[in-house]
Structure 1
Amino acid sequence: MSNTPTVVLVHGAFADASSYAPVVRRLLDDGVTVVAPPSGNRSLASDAGYVASVVRQIDGPVLLVGHSYGGAIVTVAGNEPNVVGLVYLAAYVLAEGESLGELQNRFAPSPLGQALVYTPYPIEGSSEPGIDVSVDIAQFPAIFAAEVDPALTTVLAVSQRPLAAAAFGEPAVGAPAWAEKPAWGIVASADQAINPDVQRFGYERAGASVIEVDSSHLVMHAHPDAVVAVIRDALTSVTAAQNEPVGSSAL
């Protein structure tokens, strides 16, 4: 088993693992082992369960990184024993029994709410359809990635991975991983999708080490170097902690 953590990158709503592409490239160039699994964006419990199953199959410690809704996922999945730290990027950080909607509604709404599109989808074995939530294609670039190359954001807008509406009201089950494990966070201070105050509140509650970046929501594309710097800091910290002798004390 290696003592060098594998970095597992968990994407959020309205995106897929390719949203981490600039970060993945930089981490790989640094020799970091990276896994970027897909999330179904169907429910918090099932999405966290899937990510947890990925983590369990990694031989060695894991640093979990979650963007946006992915922050809620890593908060639950991070309870796996080999997870040694959490990094939150413009993310929701939930407490036990709390939902995305409940946390978000404590703060002023963001422009995202007025740009959401609701689309029914069939659920096998049910006569009632589910509801998918996505971002209006025309408004996606300004709300999600204002300073990112428009040639890219127009592609991202038409290739969204919707989030099931039910996930907004689903409470997080179990104690949050941040209660026992170190955390780091980036506040995207120009975020038009998640109110930056939602991010600040969650990070403070988690006792995270925080920086603020003047960024839109898709901070991995807008400021990949800042994201990688935080991940490197987290890797350095958790690796040093693992290398401390067990039961060591000053004489």
Structure 2
Amino acid sequence: MKSTNRFSQLKRTFLAATLIVASLSTTNVAAQAAPKVKNIVIVHGAFADGSGFKGVFDILTKQGYNVSVVQNPLTSLQDDVDTANRIIDKQDGPVILVGHSWGGTVITQAGNNPKVVGLVYIAAFAPGDGETTSQWASSLPAAPENGILPPDEKGVIYYDKAKFHAGFAADSSKELAAFMYASQGPIFGRCFSDKVTTAAWKTKPSYGIVATEDKSINPDIERNMYKRANFKVTEVKGSHTIFISQPAKVAAVIVTAATSTK
């Protein structure tokens, strides 16, 4: 009789242990199956194109991220948003959307795409609902080095050659700045007056990088926009093209966004 009782007790203990192991295994599988943000989509600004993000691209891809770089037509806010959305829609899961300068306005609107789970602004504009890029650009005095010219007879805005190095890419070599000027992406002036309809940063986790030596956007404008929108802010010493001169620091903020967003 005692032997039978002992067997029954051992059987119950075995069954309990089996249930615990099964429960732990299920939890493990669930944890492994939890979606991770591996897709990074980058949107460049005016007067430069996506190739400037090569350094950031290299760092992120070596860490296992799937990085796509949008090439904006720079013809209107809607055109650029549509272009970004075509790339976002092709991703196989959640996306961290990154924008530089004018690209910040683009991601503010394109970030409403349901695949986007977080936003990163690099020395970028972050207008709110019904706001324009130009109203923020003119909210504080520009630096004397700023070389953004008025629209030409066709409504297109270029960056002044004489001020390009100091005003746009001061922490890059003169040779690189000369090439960047020669290959600059001029932008249609209407872009800066196009209004954002719905700002994605109101509902999605957002991060902002202030380029403290920026001469194309007053750093205090960046601070004011980011504070108003309650971004998680990182200040990095560098020019407007900080993603070229400080790719590791920029990539680190993107990784923080990707690993902190669920």
* Structure 1 length-normalised TM: 0.87
1:3 deviates by 3.2
Q: Identity of counterpart residues, as a percentage?
A: 38
> Residues 166-177 of structure 1 correspond to what in structure 2 (within 5 A)?
166-173=190-197, 175-177=198-200
* Counterpart check, 1:197 vs 2:197: no
Whether contact under 8 Å (2:41, 2:69) holds in the other structure is yes
Q: Once structures 1 and 2 are overlaid, which stretch shifts more, 48-57 or 59-68?
A: 48-57
Match for 1:206: what amino acid? Answer: A
| Correspondence for 1:146 among 151, 170, 176 | 170
Structural RMSD (CA): 1.6
Aligned to 1:232: 255
Whether contact under 8 Å (2:37, 2:96) holds in the other structure is no
Deviation digits for residues 225-245 of structure 1 (CA, Å, limit 9, x no counterpart): 11011111111101xx2xxxx
* Counterpart check, 1:156 vs 2:189: no
Whether contact under 8 Å (2:147, 2:160) holds in the other structure is no
Aligned to 2:56: 23
Match for 1:8: what amino acid? Answer: V
Count of matched residue pairs: 229
Whether contact under 8 Å (1:118, 1:133) holds in the other structure is yes
Aligned to 1:101: 134
Cα distance in 2 for partners of 1:115, 1:73 equals 19
Match for 1:156: what amino acid? Answer: M
Whether contact under 8 Å (2:147, 2:167) holds in the other structure is no
1:5 deviates by 2.9
SS at match of 1:139: helix
Whether contact under 8 Å (1:117, 1:135) holds in the other structure is no
Aligned to 2:98: 65
Match for 1:59: what amino acid? Answer: D
| Alpha carbons of structure 1 residues 157 and 94: separation in structure 2 relative to 1, 3 Å | same
SS at match of 1:35: strand
Match for 2:44: what amino acid? Answer: H
SS at match of 1:88: strand
Cα distance in 2 for partners of 1:29, 1:189 equals 28
Aligned to 1:50: 83
Cα distance in 1 for partners of 2:62, 2:147 equals 40
Q: Structure 2: where are the runs of 5+ without partners?
A: 1-32
1:112 deviates by 5.8
Match for 1:164: what amino acid? Answer: F
Aligned to 2:241: 218
1:118 deviates by 3.8
Whether contact under 8 Å (2:37, 2:259) holds in the other structure is no
* Structure 2 length-normalised TM: 0.83
Q: Structure 1: where are the runs of 5+ without partners?
A: 121-129, 242-251
> Which structure shows the higher helix fraction?
2
| Correspondence for 2:41 among 2, 5, 8 | 8
Aligned to 1:126: none
**Structure number with bigger Rg:** 2
Match for 1:152: what amino acid? Answer: L
